[in-house]
Amino acid sequence: MCGIFACHCHPNVQKFKPTALRMGKAVRHRGPDWSGNWIANNTILVHERLSIVGLDSGAQPLVSDDGNVSLAVNGEIYNHRILRKSFKTPYNFKTKSDCEVIIPLYLEYGIDAPKHLDGMFSWVLHDKAQDRVIAARDPIGITTFYMGRSSNTPGAVYFASELKCLHPVCDNIISFPPGHVYDSKTDELTRYFVPQWLMEPTNIPTAPVDYKLLRTTFEKSVRKRLMAEVPYGVLLSGGLDSSLVASIAQRETLRLNELARKNMNGVNGANGTNGVNGTNGVHQNGDVSSNLVGIDDGDELSTVQVLPQLHSFSIGLPGAPDGVAAQEVAKFLGTKHHTFTFTIEDGLNALSDVIYHLETFDVTTIRASTPMFLLSRKIKALGVKMVLSGEGSDEIFGGYLYFHAAPDKAAFHQETIRRVKNLHLADCLRANKSTSAWGVEARVPFLDKQFLDVAMNIDPAEKMITKERIEKYILRKAFDTTDEPDEKPYLPDKILWRQKEQFSDGVGYGWIDALKDNAELHVSDEDMKNPKPEWGDDIPDSKEAYWYRTMFDEHFPSYCASTVMRWTPTWSKQTDPSGRAIAIHENKYEETK
C-alpha cells in the first residue's frame, strides 16, 4: 500500500504546500520507501510510496512526457502489461510501474479509464491543460480512500488514503464510494462499476453452481496477486478462506520455482553455473531471499517473486483454535510457517494505536484488527512487504453463521450483496489499515472482479446453510478432490470442512472476553446513561462500544464518525457480533462461561 494526499483548486497552493506535505507525512507508515509531490496550476499531489512493482523506477507522482498529466496512486494494477500493449496511440512509458498505465488510459478513455483496470486502487489524476481532476476507487473499496471539503476553502476538494490526512484541513469528509469516479468538471461522483448482480439486487440468480469454473476462476485470481518484486507471504488463520488462498499460492510458487530452475539451468548450462543456489539468488535455508521470473501475459501477471518456500503467518493467544489449525495446514502444504502469539495485555496496550490507524469505533473491526495489527508488525520485521489474505469470502458465500437464519434465498442473496457493498467499511478497511500501519500490503483474491461475477451469479439456494450443507458449502465442494484420484488434495478434510470462526474468536476466545471485562472497568453504568451530546443518535449499545468510541474521539473530531459503519448481524436479536453468540456455534457463549 501507498499513501496519497491531494488538493485541487486551492486558492494559494504554494502557501499550502508545507501543510500538504505534513498531511502526506501522516500516512508515511503506508509508504515508507519514498516521498514525492507535484504541483500544477492550483493542484498538489503528495505520494508516500511502498514499492512492490517497478522498484527502481516507480516513484510517484507519475508525470507524462509533456508534463501535462500527473498521477498519484495507491494500489496494484494486475492487468498492466496487457493494457500497455492495447493503446491505439503509442505512449512513452517512463517507468516499469504497474500504475503508469492509468495515464494513457485517461488520455484514451477519459473518465471511463477506471472501467479498464483490473486491480485494487485509489488514485488522483490531474490534467493541467484542462485543469481537471479525476479520482477513482476500485470496485469494492479494497484500498481506503476519503474525500473532503473545507468551509475555509469552499472551491477546493481534497482526497486522501486516510482520515488523519484530511480532518486537520477539512470539516466535511466522506468515505469515497467504491466503484465510483469523481470528475472536477462536473464536481460529481459517478458509478462506473455496474454489474447486474450489484445493480439489480431483486433479480435473483438462477444459474446452478459450476464447481470447476468456481475453482479455476479463484485459482486465476490468486495467481494474479502474486505479481511482486519483493518477498511475500500468506496470512493463514487455519480457516477455510485463508487456507485455500495459501494452498493455491503454494501450488503456484512451487510451479514457478520449478520453471525458474529450468530456465536458469538452460541459460547457465553452457558455462557450468547451476543457477539454483548461485545465480538466481534462491537459497536453500528457507529465508525470504528472492528472484524474479517472467510470466506469460495470458496469466495476466508481469513478474512474480521466486521463493524457496512460501511463507505463512498466523497469530493468536497461546493454544488458540486458529493457531492449531494454521499449523496443521502449513504442515500439509509445506509452507515455512511463522506462528506468533500475543498476550491479552499486548492487545489491550495496542487498542488506542489500533483505533488511530483503523479510524473506526466498530466493535467487530477493532476486535479482529488488533491481532492483525500486531501480526503485521511481526511480518514487516521479517522483511516481507506483501501478503495474501482471505477477506470477502464470507460476504460472497454467506459464510457468517447468522446466515443460517436467512428466511429464503432472495433474502440470503440480498444480504450477501449488502455485505459486499459494505466491505470497504468493514473487513477491507481492517485488512488494508491493519497491514498498512506497518508498511505491509494485503491483497484479497476473493474480491477479484471475474471471481465476483462467477460467485455472485450463482443461484443463492446453492449457498444457503441447511442440515445437509455447512456454511460456504459450494466453495468447500469446489476444492474437494475426493472424486478426483489424479488431483492432489488442496487441504486436509478436517480443514476443508471446519466450522466458521470469526477472526476475533479464532485468535483465542479469551481475547473477546478480556475486552468485555476491561470495558466494564473503563465505562460505568452512569456513563452509559449519559452519552456525549455530540454523538447524536449514534449511541453505543454496550460498554465495549462506548469505550472504543471514547478512544476514537481522542484521535478524531466528531464529524469523522459519519465515515464509520457498525457491523451487526441480520435476522438476529443478538447485539454481540461474535460468532460464539450464534446458537449453532460449537463453542457458543453458554458453554464457555
Please report, in range form, the residues annotated as the binding site for L-glutamine: 98
CA distance readout (Å), 202 to 208, 367, 410, 412, 457: 18, 33, 7, 11, 12
Q: Which element (helix H / strand E) includes 275?
A: none
What CA–CA distance (Å, rounded) separates 554 from 355?
10
In which region does residue 508 sit, left (phi positive, over 0), alpha (psi from -120 to 50) or beta (all else)? Answer: left
Look at the block and give the residue holding cell 500468506.
Answer: 234
Main-chain dihedrals φ then ψ at residue 414, nearest 5 degrees = -65, -30
What CA–CA distance (Å, rounded) separates 465 from 403?
7
| Cβ-contact 451, 300 below 8 angstroms | no
Main-chain dihedrals φ then ψ at residue 515, nearest 5 degrees = -60, -45
| Cβ-contact 355, 491 below 8 angstroms | no
What CA–CA distance (Å, rounded) separates 128 from 536?
43
The number of angstroms, rounded, from the C-alpha of 189 to the middle of its chain's C-alpha atoms is: 23
Which ranges of 456-562 would DSSP assign to H, the alpha helix? 473-478, 493-496, 503-506, 509-522, 525-529, 543-555
Cell numbers placing 492: 486436509
Query: Coil, strand, or helix at residue 255?
Result: helix
Residue type, 272: G
Q: How far apart are the first and last CA of the chain?
A: 41
DSSP per-residue string spanning 30-93: T-TTEEEEEEETTEEEEEEE--SSSTTT--SSEE-TTS-EEEEEEEEETTHHHHHTT-SS----
* Residues constituting the chain: 593
What CA–CA distance (Å, rounded) separates 59 from 37?
10
Main-chain dihedrals φ then ψ at residue 43, nearest 5 degrees = -120, 140
The residues, ordered by sequence, that sit 6+ positions from 468 with a Cβ below 8 Å of its Cβ are none
Cell numbers placing 189: 461522483
The residues, ordered by sequence, that sit 6+ positions from 94 with a Cβ below 8 Å of its Cβ are 57, 62, 65, 100
Catalytic residue chosen out of the listed positions 2, 99, 165, 560? 2
Query: Coil, strand, or helix at residue 39?
Result: strand
| Cβ-contact 474, 68 below 8 angstroms | no
The residues, ordered by sequence, that sit 6+ positions from 206 with a Cβ below 8 Å of its Cβ are 459
7 is catalytic: no
What CA–CA distance (Å, rounded) separates 396 from 474?
11
Cell numbers placing 29: 507508515
- Please state the residue numbers annotated as binding site for ATP: 235, 315, 389-390
- List the catalytic residues: 2
